[in-house]
């Protein structure tokens, strides 16, 4: 692994299998750039992994944007930080020679991934959002077909079911097929989350390879 000094502190692990979409790993509150490396390797074996550390601190815990309270986001900061992350993705693509990544985010990481997807069409080639919420009430960017997987927990005390359903709707309206899977669990991740994400990523990678071949 290497961590070149781009605009985010990060870890980059090069691909060991050619032709796979790279994966942008986005941790939850209190995580860091090493937090989801194992998850990324399980979901996308052999893919390049790019994992930045959130630049906002909340009581000393890294996050990707500010919030005013639990589930109440500072939308101006969301927009600013989504732009910063989209620029970092561009820097990393140029520096490491990778394509547009598939975001794999958990909780706060899923929320910033959704914001990047909505505000900066084309920055991502796909998104796997684990326990994501609607990040913005205001206007978003243009429509670019970008597939997404949203996995929610029906016992999640942080993400209301109505909010998760609204996120699936908003992502679909922004362009691209959206799968929304609801598990009988809370906010934490389970083995089934990993299995669903790995299956979705494999299908996306297969479609991408077929498109290149044709």
Give the full edge-to-edge strand order of the sheet including 178-183: 10-13, 49-52, 23-26, 102-106, 126-130, 148-153, 178-183
Q: Determine which helix (DSSP H) or strand (DSSP E) holds 39, and give its type and residue range.
A: helix 37-43
151, β-bridge pairs: 130, 181
Total Cβ atoms within 10 A of residue 177 = 12
* Candidates 32, 74, 77, 187; catalytic one: 187
Could you give the dihedral angle defined by the CA atoms of residues 133, 136, 140 and 143, in that order, rounded to the nearest 10 degrees? 10
* Candidates 35, 84, 156, 193; catalytic one: 156
Catalytic (active site) residue 10: no
* Candidates 51, 107, 125, 152; catalytic one: 107
Cα–Cα dist 96/93, whole Å: 5
Active site residues: 107, 156, 187
């Amino acid at each position: 692994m290497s961590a070149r000094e781009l605009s985010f502190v990060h870890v980059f692990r090069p691909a060991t299998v050619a032709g796979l979409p790279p994966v942008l790993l986005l941790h939850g509150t209190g995580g860091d750039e090493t937090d989801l490396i194992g998850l990324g390797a399980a979901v996308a074996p052999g893919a390049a992994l790019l994992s930045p550390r959130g630049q906002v601190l909340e009581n000393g815990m890294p996050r990707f944007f500010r919030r005013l309270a639990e589930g109440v986001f500072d939308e101006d900061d969301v927009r600013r930080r989504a732009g910063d992350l989209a620029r970092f993705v561009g820097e990393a693509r140029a520096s490491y020679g990778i394509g547009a990544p598939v975001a794999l985010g958990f909780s706060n990481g899923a929320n910033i991934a959704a914001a990047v997807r909505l505000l900066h069409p084309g920055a991502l080639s796909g998104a796997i959002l684990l326990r994501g919420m609607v990040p913005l009430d205001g206007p978003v960017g243009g429509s670019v077909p970008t597939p997404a997987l949203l996995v929610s927990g029906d016992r999640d005390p942080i993400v209301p079911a109505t909010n998760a359903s609204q996120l699936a709707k908003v992502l679909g309206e922004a362009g691209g097929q959206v799968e929304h899977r609801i598990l009988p669990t809370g906010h934490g991740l389970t083995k089934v989350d990993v299995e669903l994400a790995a299956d979705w990523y494999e299908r996306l990678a297969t479609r991408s390879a077929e498109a290149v071949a044709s």
